[in-house]
Amino acid sequence: MYNVANKRTFLGVAMAMLLFSCGGKNTDTERAEAIVNQADSAITAGDYDLAVTLLDTLKSRYPREIKVQRGAMNLRPKAIEGQTIRQIEITDSMLAASSHRRDSMMNYFSFVNNP
């Protein structure tokens, strides 16, 4: 009786581990693909910082999902390009505001030629 109970328990635990290990990979793949879809949606919405964060999360959380990471490789340059373009736009607007302020203050200065 003792051996039958141990064998059934062992068999039950082994089956549960087998099912869990097989299902875990598909779940990891599905979760990784969900992160890629979220990153793609973030890029479409213009939230490039979130997209880069999601892609970093994908790389760190699911390092074994190589196929999913390969599919997401084209998203990182798009997100970085979007971040760069946004930063250029911010810098251009700050430059325009600073130039206007400088021009408005030029009346308070005079040129002195001092050899």
What is the residue-wise DSSP string for 54-70? Answer: HHHHHHHH-TT-HHHHH
In a domain, residue 76? The reply is: yes
In a domain, residue 50? The reply is: yes
pTM over 0.75: no
Side chain identity at residue 102, one-letter code: R
In a domain, residue 63? The reply is: yes
Q: Whose CA is closest to 68, among 115, 26, 24, 103?
A: 26
In a domain, residue 91? The reply is: yes
Q: What is residue 4's predicted lDDT score, i.e. its pLDDT?
A: 53
Tell me which of 27 and 2 has the higher pLDDT. 27
**Average confidence score pLDDT of the chain:** 84
In a domain, residue 64? The reply is: yes
Q: Predicted confidence band at 114 (pLDDT cuts at 50, 70, 90)? A: confident
Q: What is residue 115's predicted lDDT score, i.e. its pLDDT?
A: 80
pLDDT in tens, 71-81: 999 999 999 99
In a domain, residue 31? The reply is: yes
Question: Considering its fold, how many domains does the chain have in total?
Answer: 1
Q: What is residue 16's predicted lDDT score, i.e. its pLDDT?
A: 46
In a domain, residue 113? The reply is: no
Structural domain harbouring 90 = 25-95
